[in-house]
Structure 1
Amino acid sequence: MSTNQDHDMQRGLKNRHIQMIALGGAIGTGLFYGSAETIKLAGPAITLSYMIGGFVIFLIMRMLGEMSVDEPVSGSFSHFAYKYWGEFPGFLSGWNYWFNYVIVSMAELTAVGIYINYWFPSIPHWASALFFLIIITAANLVNVKMYGEFEFWFAIIKVVAILGMIIFGLLLIFTKINGQATGFSNLWIHGGYIATGWWGVILSLVPVMFSFGGIELIGITAGEADNPKKTIPKAINQVMWRILIFYVGALTVMMILYPWNQVGMDGSPFVQIFSKMGIPAAASILNVVVLTAALSVYNSGIYSNGRMLYSLAQQGNAPKSFAKLNSNGIPVRGVLISSALTLVAVILNYLIPGKIFMYLMSIAIIAGIINWTMIIFTNLKFRKAKGQAADNLEFKTPLHPISNYAAFIFLAIVVALMSTINDMKMAVYILPVWILVLWIGFKFKKSSESKISPAQKAK
């Protein structure tokens, strides 16, 4: 094992890798399973919810992109928060991002066992999870290009599947290939387009924001992009409209094909709709897709967590051992620790089946909101530090600083909404406790540093 003084991060990620990495982090459980909760809350107006949430996330991504293009480093907004805001913001944003993706990875890895059981019910959940954990972790330890290829093909499967569902759905809507053309009436005959009222649409913004969690992974890849000043802006601008097509387009077709109030909460709405419409083999095909989606998000989680621990170690906010890279420029220890922690989820879901998944989701939403809030305010600090030089930035945030404050107000509203939802309240209560834990950890770190002599620091 060599230190980062001997080896640097390798710039082996192409534009196609970076775009698919971002898609891989954002198209997963939120669409294939979590959208059932959003449909329940908003009805056909789920499409409006995704457009609102997607626009806010686009603004936040532009804020991150503005900084990442100017300074393409691994660790992304943790580095920027540390440099432009202060030591504690850098400490908080880095550890919170790492914690967020550990929680998300736990949920996704556990889901893998459930999906495998669809075909092979005799295989224990833990065995499937352990098998894929080893495979994905090994791929992340080879080199960054191997990770990029894994994620590229994982994401391709999801993208092709969603586009296939949209095209097939349009054929069902406009032609008689399944007996008769469906038409558009399901959008309004079951209570209207805004069937649950505006309050339902507003509440639906909470699970919608979980769906967009992970899109900020583009910023983490900046340190390993082969041409970050070109690939990062292109990836951010292209990925956002693609996600809106995949979410809004796919869900619009679903709402047209089938009555929204008959979808239910007992599985993926995509599987339910095509199965209930009598489409042969739909469940098996879609099970391949949801399995791939879970593995894709887990792959992205292991990648980003290893890089975040590397960045934290470089800042002095994590043990120095995490700042070591192997000969291929991989932060091996960070990858292995992050991978090992997700294994805890398999045990937890075995011991506490059922409810643990929803709790993990709500905590992930809160952690995601902390990440996005840090990006918003770090971008304000970044602009202030740049002064007049900010006029020459290559990839500017639209409507800065109005967009920053508007995005923050939106996120604050989402947190307030979570406090009104029974299954989400716990996460809101955890928010101040989690920040306090990080503050105590930061103070302990500072106290430990003060006891180190100048001679020891020089070493």
Structure 2
Amino acid sequence: MEIINKPSHLKGVLKTRHVSMLALGSALGAGLFVGSSTVIASTGPGAFITYALTGIIVALVMRMLGEMAAAHPTTGSFVEYARLAFGRPAAYMTGWLYWYFWVIVVGFEAVVGGQIINAWLPDIPVWVIALGLMIGMTLLNLLSVRSFGEAEYWFAGIKVVAILVFIGVVIYFIFGDKSNSTVSLSNLTQHGGFLPHGVGSLFAGVVVVIFSMTGMEVATIAAAESDNPSRNIRKVANAVIFRIMIFYVLAVFLIVVAQPWTDITVGKSPFVTTLEHIGIPGAGTILTAVILVAVLSVLNAGLYTASRVLFILASNDEAPRSMATLNRKGVPVRGVIASTLVGYGCVIIAALWPDTVFQFLINSSGTVFLFVYLMICLSQLKLRSKWVSQGTLKFAVWGHPWVPMIVIAAIVAVLVSMALDPVLQISLLQCGITIFALAVCYLVRGGKKNQFSAVPEKKT
């Protein structure tokens, strides 16, 4: 017997434009606008290659996820596919790891938003602003699924327009304005060379870049609440590689061309630095406002995603049954509140222990995603024959099984490189502690059927 959650439990009110923008909006946050400074500083001008290599991995994982989602649309997305492929333990671990990732991201983004607004309103403490942002996004998620979708559509739209304008302005100053001698393709090779820290630095930044690209897979969860899940999933998966190349690779390439990479300051948005360098009046203030919108967008999407993951876990008796309760508007209210409570806790922890407990949460959650991606790849390999035999394979991964196996090898190689890198070992260790804690929870409570409530099983 197997417990399967039906997508019809949630209302299909999201439109294609909502799902498409959600996939893009969830991945364009502080990780790109600010986190790219870390990648550039540690890699040099060749940082855009790190983004390209990571982007290929992410795009292929999305293609695998798209194959499974088109063949078997479900609210739980890859959590359900882990269940179908490897059973309850795999689904339990994947679901809770993914939920853990997003609730920590919610707290992190709220703190970043608080820091941005605090720079404008220094008399208000960061933690107070962060809690205010959390409350606002919580209320938005509680209104209705359509309200969430509309808000995310416009949040993401602002970010997309801002990045496209940034790309257009920088291209003009590189190729059209010859009066600025510091803007030149020679910046790729001067100031220490193309890869001043060696070829190995290309791969050292993969974890940071994957963290900034996470969120595109949210579309496969949201698609279950859309008007045409299979079609929307295929459209999103097909567009991923194009979006990565434009919004990540091209943007970072232009940043390292527009000025010496040594001018990039870790922790300060290189987008702001670039516009200030080429002399755009008020660029810093305008782009800082865009970064705030990006933070709110990821915060909004994070709460949505975490609540839906709780919904699918509860529907399969792997979380308290109350988390699967929907109101008349189709919103899992208790799931939203439970997820946002953890976010509030993260904000308080960031205020009290920013360099210890909060840093542990950030380090451990960032690496978690590599294990989630690994499970997606393994599930696709296991389930491909199932889709073929059922005649539901509508959207196939290229080069099966070699391409999925290459992606798996790449993810394992990143994990091994982290284990060998003294700087990254702590993140891997902290992630391992989190995984161990969840495994213990499963063995103590999660491995017992009907542990939370009497949720009837459904025969297949």
> TM range, normalised to the smaller chain?
over 0.9
Deviations 1:264-298 (A, max 9, x none): 21411122232344432111011111111111111
What is the rounded CA distance, in whole Å, between the counterparts of 1:206 and 1:416 in structure 2?
Answer: 12
What is the rounded CA distance, in whole Å, between the counterparts of 1:69 and 1:249 in structure 2?
Answer: 30
What is the rounded CA distance, in whole Å, between the counterparts of 2:60 and 2:107 in structure 1?
Answer: 28
1:51 counterpart = 2:52 = yes
What is the rounded CA distance, in whole Å, between the counterparts of 2:379 and 2:71 in structure 1?
Answer: 14
1:246 counterpart = 2:247 = yes
1:32 alignment partner in structure 2: 33
What amino acid is the match of 1:443? L
The structural deviation recorded for 1:342 is 0.4
The structural deviation recorded for 1:170 is 1.1
1:397 alignment partner in structure 2: 397
- 1:114-129 equivalences under 5 Å are 114-129=115-130
- Aligned-residue identity in percent: 36
On the 8 A contact 1:175/1:181 being kept in 2, the answer is no
1:362 counterpart = 2:355 = no
On the 8 A contact 1:19/1:239 being kept in 2, the answer is no
1:306 alignment partner in structure 2: 307
The structural deviation recorded for 1:317 is 0.5
The structural deviation recorded for 1:442 is 1.7
What is the rounded CA distance, in whole Å, between the counterparts of 1:408 and 1:45 in structure 2?
Answer: 24
Deviations 1:163-221 (A, max 9, x none): 11111111111233865583321111223323332111121222222122222112211
What amino acid is the match of 1:428? L
- 1:269 to 1:209, Cα distance in 2 relative to 1, 3 A: same
On the 8 A contact 1:26/1:215 being kept in 2, the answer is yes
Q: Find the residue that maps to 2:137 and give its secondary structure.
A: helix
- Number of equivalenced pairs: 453
On the 8 A contact 2:321/2:453 being kept in 1, the answer is no
Q: Find the residue that maps to 1:26 and give its secondary structure.
A: coil
- 1:455 to 1:399, Cα distance in 2 relative to 1, 3 A: closer
Deviates more, 1:74-83 or 1:434-443: 434-443
Deviations 1:118-137 (A, max 9, x none): 21111211222122212211
What is the rounded CA distance, in whole Å, between the counterparts of 2:450 and 2:283 in structure 1?
Answer: 62
Deviations 1:420-448 (A, max 9, x none): 44453222113333232222222223565
1:158 alignment partner in structure 2: 159
What is the rounded CA distance, in whole Å, between the counterparts of 1:437 and 1:360 in structure 2?
Answer: 13
On the 8 A contact 2:142/2:336 being kept in 1, the answer is yes
On the 8 A contact 2:59/2:241 being kept in 1, the answer is yes
On the 8 A contact 1:21/1:151 being kept in 2, the answer is yes
The structural deviation recorded for 1:354 is 5.3
Which runs of no fewer than 5 residues in structure 1 stay unpaired? none
What is the rounded CA distance, in whole Å, between the counterparts of 1:212 and 1:108 in structure 2?
Answer: 15
What is the rounded CA distance, in whole Å, between the counterparts of 2:456 and 2:78 in structure 1?
Answer: 30
What amino acid is the match of 1:403? V
What amino acid is the match of 2:177? K
What is the Cα-based RMSD across aligned positions, in Å? Answer: 2.5
What amino acid is the match of 1:442? Y
What is the rounded CA distance, in whole Å, between the counterparts of 2:9 and 2:395 in structure 1?
Answer: 26
- 1:188 to 1:320, Cα distance in 2 relative to 1, 3 A: same
Q: Find the residue that maps to 2:372 and give its secondary structure.
A: helix
- 1:405 to 1:135, Cα distance in 2 relative to 1, 3 A: same
1:443 alignment partner in structure 2: 443
What is the rounded CA distance, in whole Å, between the counterparts of 1:240 and 1:331 in structure 2?
Answer: 32
What is the rounded CA distance, in whole Å, between the counterparts of 1:31 and 1:13 in structure 2?
Answer: 26
- 1:172-321 equivalences under 5 Å are 172-176=173-177, 179=180, 182-321=183-322
On the 8 A contact 2:113/2:130 being kept in 1, the answer is yes
Q: Find the residue that maps to 2:200 and give its secondary structure.
A: helix
What is the rounded CA distance, in whole Å, between the counterparts of 1:215 and 1:192 in structure 2?
Answer: 33
Which runs of no fewer than 5 residues in structure 2 stay unpaired? none
- 1:11 to 1:115, Cα distance in 2 relative to 1, 3 A: same
What amino acid is the match of 1:182? V
The structural deviation recorded for 1:454 is 9.9
1:138 alignment partner in structure 2: 139
Q: Find the residue that maps to 1:419 and give its secondary structure.
A: helix
1:412 alignment partner in structure 2: 412
2:113 alignment partner in structure 1: 112
What amino acid is the match of 1:173? I
1:375 alignment partner in structure 2: 376
TM-score, scaled to structure 1: 0.92
- 1:266 to 1:139, Cα distance in 2 relative to 1, 3 A: closer
What is the rounded CA distance, in whole Å, between the counterparts of 2:387 and 2:427 in structure 1?
Answer: 36
What is the rounded CA distance, in whole Å, between the counterparts of 1:453 and 1:43 in structure 2?
Answer: 54
Deviates more, 1:99-108 or 1:195-204: 195-204
1:92 alignment partner in structure 2: 93
On the 8 A contact 1:210/1:364 being kept in 2, the answer is no
What is the rounded CA distance, in whole Å, between the counterparts of 2:150 and 2:334 in structure 1?
Answer: 22
Q: Find the residue that maps to 1:182 and give its secondary structure.
A: coil
What is the rounded CA distance, in whole Å, between the counterparts of 2:129 and 2:350 in structure 1?
Answer: 13
- 1:450 to 1:30, Cα distance in 2 relative to 1, 3 A: closer
The structural deviation recorded for 1:19 is 1.3
What amino acid is the match of 1:220? I
What amino acid is the match of 2:295? A
